[in-house]
Chains A and B, each alone.
Chain A
């Protein structure tokens, strides 16, 4: 139920956005993430974007994981 998938925001028209995932485009509401910009990745749940994916945090997580080395 709480499934959400990452999609890319292609264009924004008011509270609605065209988003894309795996080559397929569809419409989504951005009523819950009004600050979203074109080009952002968002998590899409039940037709609504619920969170903007923070690319810097994603890279920081990877950096921290790379610090864990086999001893």
Chain B
């Protein structure tokens, strides 16, 4: 809900978008947080009919591959292991079970808000091995890196991380190279960009001629981002602009990048619906292998089938919307989700379910 001056500024921005926008364009909001904000605030309905907003793959829970979920479920079954995970992952179905079911079977699985909590659990349970499941993009990876460095400093030897962290620019490149979806502009993720800055997106306008705007999550932020994209597209001058200057510096957060690069190195990662993307994941460096659950428990990424009939993979690539899925609102709903896009609070299916089903 916008109030006072914010409402006037938003109205002016919308009128300006209508004034300068002349052609059919596809904009992708990469981040699930943006999808939720856009649907919740009804922003699609405020835009010209020929400006289409597509939801992208920026939901860490959603893009975690079924094979990786299966590995975590297996890990949670070891008697001396406490599995610590961020919220929604616990409800994502694997190919045979879920972490929630594993917990019901008596395995010790804790939902944490921060890697610091997992570190506390390790301190309090010296006889157990505590595995923090590291999911998330560049926003979250530095926090998990910092927790590993803290464990090293404090000599906490029963703290491990299973890194399934993923990187934003490499998967954007994979999407663009696939040619599956024609994009004119990308609404780049605001909080990922507080860490990586604006420069890692520069290949997108340069090599693909696609406009980029980094923006925040308030209605005015999103409208300003869309205004920037329409302006770039209409003038034929794609570039990377920041509509979230109060939080994002062009160079990013150098300290966060430094800690992330100290602990992690770039490797391959599996993405639901997209497959294996080289250079799109973060693995613990050789020096930190004692903290690396993948090394200690010999977890290897594996391919696994998607749930039958689930279109989550296609939805993450923006080639389908939740409305195209025959399971949506029927067999698949927030109470009994079939796929992760309905499980996660920022999954496209969950957002469509909660905030209406208009296709823009």
Are B189 and A2 in contact (CB-based, < 8 A)?
yes
- Structural contact, B139 and A47, CB atoms closer than 8 A: no
Chain B residue with Cβ nearest A35: B255
B interface residues (Cβ-Cβ under 8 A, vs A): 9, 11-13, 15-16, 19, 31-33, 58-61, 86, 113-117, 135-137, 139-140, 142-143, 146, 149-150, 189-192, 194-195, 220, 224, 227, 243, 245-248, 253, 255-256, 259, 344, 346
Closest to A32 in B: B256
Distance of A29 Cα from B259 Cα, bound (Å) = 14
The answer, among A45, A65, A66, A71, for a CB contact under 8 Å with B15, is A71
Asked if residues A2 and B220 are in contact (CB atoms below 8 Å), the reply is: no
A59-B270 Cα distance, complex, nearest whole Å? 42
- Chain A residues near B248 (CB-CB < 8 A): 51
Complex CA gap A54/B150 in Å reads 28
User: Once bound together, how far apart are the Cα atoms of A31 and B192, in whole Å?
Assistant: 17
Please determine whether B12 and A2 come into contact, CB atoms closer than 8 angstroms: no
A68 to B61, CA, bound (A): 38
B117: chain A residues at CB < 8 Å are 47
Residues A3-35 near B (CB distance < 8 A): 3-4, 29, 31-34
**Between-chain CB contacts (< 8 Å), 27 pairs:** A1-B137, A1-B344, A2-B32, A2-B33, A2-B189, A2-B190, A4-B191, A31-B149, A31-B150, A32-B259, A43-B194, A45-B139, A45-B143, A46-B113, A46-B143, A48-B142, A48-B143, A50-B195, A50-B256, A51-B253, A53-B246, A54-B246, A57-B246, A58-B245, A60-B245, A61-B243, A70-B11
Known A-B contacts: A2-B137, A2-B191. Give 7 more (CB < 8 A).
A1-B86, A2-B58, A32-B142, A32-B253, A48-B114, A50-B139, A57-B245
- Interface of chain B, helix or strand or loop or mixed? helix
- Across the interface, do B194 and A51 meet the contact criterion of CB distance under 8 Å? yes
Known: A31-B259, A33-B255. A1 touches B61 (CB 8 A): yes
Distance between Cα atoms of A45 and B116 in the complex (Å): 12
A51 to B189, CA, bound (A): 14
Q: Pick from A2, A4, A62 the residue with the most CB of B within 10 Å.
A: A2
Q: Kindly provide the distance from the CB of B110 to the nearest chain A CB, expressed in whole angstroms.
A: 14
- Contact partners of A70 in chain B: CB under 8 A: 11-12, 15
The smallest beta-carbon distance between B281 and chain A, in angstroms, is 15
Contacts of A58 in B (CB 8 A): 245-246
Nearest neighbor of A43 in chain B, beta-carbon distance = B247
Residue of A nearest to B137 (CB): A2
**Chain A residues positioned under 8 Å from B9 (CB to CB):** 62, 65-66, 68
User: In the complex, what distance in Å separates the CA atom of A65 from the CA atom of B223?
Assistant: 11
Inter-chain CA distance A29–B149, complex, in Å, is 13
Contact A1–B59 (Cβ < 8 Å): yes
- Given A33-B255, A47-B116: A61 and B245 within 8 A (CB)? yes
CA of A61 to CA of B216 in the docked complex: distance in angstroms? 12
A31 to chain B minimum Cβ distance, whole angstroms, is 5
Q: Judge whether B192 and A46 touch: CB under 8 Å.
A: no
Contact B247 A2 (CB under 8 A): no
Q: Do A32 and B135 touch (CB < 8 A)? A: no
Assess A50 versus B253: contact at CB under 8 Å? Given A2-B137, A60-B245, A65-B9: yes
With A and B bound together, what is the CA distance between A31 and B145 in angstroms? 11
**What's the Cα separation between A51 and B246 when bound, in Å?**
9
